[in-house]
Amino acid sequence: MKIAKLMMVVLLVVSTIPAYAQSASQIKKLAGTGAQMLGGTARIATDICKIDQGLIASYKERARTSYAADINFERNWSIGWNDQQNVVDNIMTLKTNNPGEYRLQKTELCAAISDEMQP
């Protein structure tokens, strides 16, 4: 999760660079990466945290607005969603092999994701 937080900070910093310093291609690429990251976050929120689907739908719409430059938003969201299957599988394995560590990681992870998804 610390890596995901760091990536979000990097995206935030990069996205604050004035638009004139980036080509249209760079802006589209950045928007696509953002859509993928947030799609992945939504996957974990759904499968691990069991966050309300209405909140996730609202989060997705805010992401769509934030990354309006991504003309392939749905595709990139889906890529991010699908890319997190390994993470979900690893967390579920941890649940079986080390329930105490699973609860700790789930609590921290889901608290951060829940905060992220609030309007």
Distance CA 16, CA 25 (A): 16
Q: Containing domain of residue 99, as a range?
A: 24-117
- pLDDT tens-digit map of 63-88: 999 999 999 999 999 999 999 999 99
**Is residue 45 in a domain?**
yes
Residue 54 domain-assigned? yes
Asked if residue 14 belongs to a domain, the reply is no
Mean pLDDT of 57-62: 96
Residue 12 belongs to some domain of the structure: no
- Pick the more confident residue, 1 or 5: 5
Please state, in angstroms and rounded to a whole number, the distance separating the CA atoms of residues 117 and 95. 24
Does residue 111 lie within any of the structural domains?
yes
- In-domain check, residue 7: no
Work out how many domains the chain is built from and give that number.
1
CB 109 within 8 A of CB 47: no
Asked, for residue 17, whether it belongs to a domain, the answer is no
Asked if residue 59 belongs to a domain, the reply is yes
pLDDT tens profile 6-58: 455 445 545 555 545 567 778 888 889 999 999 999 999 999 999 999 999 99
What gap in Å lies between CA 115 and CA 119, rounded to an integer? 9
d(CA 19, CA 106): 37
Nearest to 59 by CA among 88, 81, 79: 81
Q: What's the pTM value of the predicted model, to 2 decimals?
A: 0.77
Cα angle 29, 31, 54; round to 5: 145
CB-CB contact of 65 with 56 (8 Å): no
